C-alpha cells in the first residue's frame, strides 16, 4: 500500500497534476520531519487543515511519530521502509 501511494505521488509530481492535501503534507514531510505547526508554517496552510491530514496519513501507516520531544506536539516523519 505504501509503495502504491508513493508511486502515485511521484507520477503526479512528474506530470504537474494537482496533489491532494494528504499528498501535499506527505511531500512536505518527505523534505524533512516536523510537527503539525512546523508543517503548517512551511506549507502556508492553517493548522486546522494540516492536523487532520497527519492523522489520516498516520492511520494509513504512511507516517510515524519520531518520539522526539517537541513539547506538546509530536514530530512526524515519512515511513519509507514498508
Question: Residue 23 has which C-alpha cell?
Answer: 499528498
How is domain 1-7+19-66 classified at the CATH fold level? Arc Repressor Mutant, subunit A (1.10.10)
| Half-sphere exposure of residue 58: CA atoms within 13 angstroms, side-chain side | 14
pLDDT score, position 10: 67
pLDDT at 31: 92
How many helices (H) and strands (E) the chain has is answered by 4, 2
Residue 67 grid cell? 518520539
Q: How confident is the model at residue 2 (pLDDT cuts 50, 70, 90)?
A: low
pLDDT of residue 80: 79
Give the pLDDT confidence of 55-73 residue by residue, as tens digits. 999 999 999 999 888 888 8
Amino acid at each position: 500500500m505504501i509503495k502504491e501511494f508513493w508511486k502515485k505521488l511521484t507520477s503526479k509530481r512528474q506530470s504537474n497534476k494537482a496533489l491532494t492535501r494528504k499528498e501535499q503534507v506527505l511531500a512536505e514531510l518527505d523534505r524533512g520531519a516536523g510537527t503539525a505547526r512546523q508543517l503548517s508554517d512551511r506549507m502556508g496552510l492553517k493548522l486546522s487543515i494540516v492536523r487532520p491530514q497527519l492523522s489520516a496519513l498516520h492511520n494509513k501507516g504512511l507516517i510515524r511519530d519520531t518520539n522526539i520531544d517537541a513539547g506538546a506536539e509530536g514530530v512526524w516523519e515519512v515511513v519509507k521502509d514498508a
